[in-house]
Amino acid sequence: DAGVTQSPTHLIKTRGQHVTLRCSPISGHKSVSWYQQVLGQGPQFIFQYYEKEERGRGNFPDRFSARQFPNYSSELNVNALLLGDSALYLCASSLADVGAGGYNEQFFGPGTRLTVL
Amino acid sequence: KNQVEQSPQSLIILEGKNCTLQCNYTVSPFSNLRWYKQDTGRGPVSLTIMTFSENTKSNGRYTATLDADTKQSSLHITASQLSDSASYICVVTDSWGKLQFGAGTQVVVTP
């Protein structure tokens, strides 16, 4: 079975541009979460979607937005890119809503490496 | 202040040797604690998961311990291999399902 997939793997943009990152969850998983991981730090939570509805939002500016499609894939959009947006963007999927707790494990994709010049 | 603190920040060990990584947390109410291994430029992969009532969990050469009273966990790597070189991240989930990530410990195994 395919795991969580993300595209593209690498991306180089310049300041002020816009970027769209894509994520396909594990088949059957309805929850998708997005994380930003700056080099040398742990992932920071950006968004979580379940059944196409936003269920959680981290402390990120409105330049960051996301959506989930009927097939449960997801897009993360970042407008007006800043140098500080350079990071590894991780997508994670889980079977149930994150609020279900317990052993509802999140499976991570390989990430998209975004470099803003 | 980060609710999950890991130590050391980084360490270098010789191939074949053992090492122990530490994780202290203040997350409450607690649901579970996971240790993830993250290779450079890749997504984290789960190694172990423990709930409140579990004190130890093993996965091959990786053994995690949990003391829920002192809110401390450790990850012990036995007979390290070059492929163990990675960042090891401690992740604590609260009862509402929110994940709190540690900054990770960077492990380098040298021949």
Rounded to a whole number of angstroms, the distance from the CA of B102 to the nearest CA of chain A is 6
**All residues at 6 or more sequence positions from B99 whose CB lies less than 8 Å from its CB, including other chains:** A45, A98, A106, B91, B92, B93
Mean pLDDT of B49-55: 89
Instruction: Classify burial at A109, counting beta carbons within 10 Å of its beta carbon; exposed 0-12, middle 13-18, buried 19 or more.
Output: buried
Residue A1: pLDDT band by 50, 70, 90 thresholds? low
Q: Please count the residues of chain A.
A: 117
B99 CB neighbours in chain A (<8 A) are: 45, 98, 106
Contact A111 B31 (CB under 8 A): no
Residues 59-98 of B with CB under 8 A from A: 89, 91, 93, 95-98
> pLDDT (tens digit, 9 = 90+) per residue, B1-42?
679 999 999 999 999 999 999 999 999 888 899 999 999 888
Q: Which residue has the higher pLDDT, A98 or B74?
A: B74
| Mean of pLDDT over chain B | 93
| A88: nearest CA partner in chain B | B41
pLDDT band at A5 (very low <50, low <70, confident <90, very high): very high
Residue A92 pLDDT class (50, 70, 90 cuts): very high
Question: Is A104 or A93 the better-scoring residue by pLDDT?
Answer: A93
Q: Cβ of A104 and B97 within 8 Å? A: yes
Q: d(Cα B111, Cα B105) in Å, to the nearest integer?
A: 19
Question: Is the per-residue pLDDT at A54 higher than 60?
Answer: yes
What is the predicted pLDDT for the residue at B39?
Answer: 93
Mean pLDDT of A45-56: 91
Residue A104 with chain B: CB contacts under 8 Å: 97
pLDDT at B91 over 60: yes
Q: Report residue A99's pLDDT band, with 50, 70 and 90 as the boundaries.
A: low
| Averaged pLDDT for residues A10-25 | 97
pLDDT above 60: residue A102: no
A37-47: pLDDT as tens digits:
998 889 999 99
- Higher pLDDT: A105 or A81? It is A81
Q: Check if the beta carbon of residue A51 is closer than 8 Å to that of residue A87.
A: no
Cβ separation A88–B41 shorter than 8 A: yes
Cα→Cα distances B11→A2, A55, A76, B58, Å: 33, 38, 34, 21
B51: closest chain A residue by CA: A102
Place of tokens 């649901």: B31
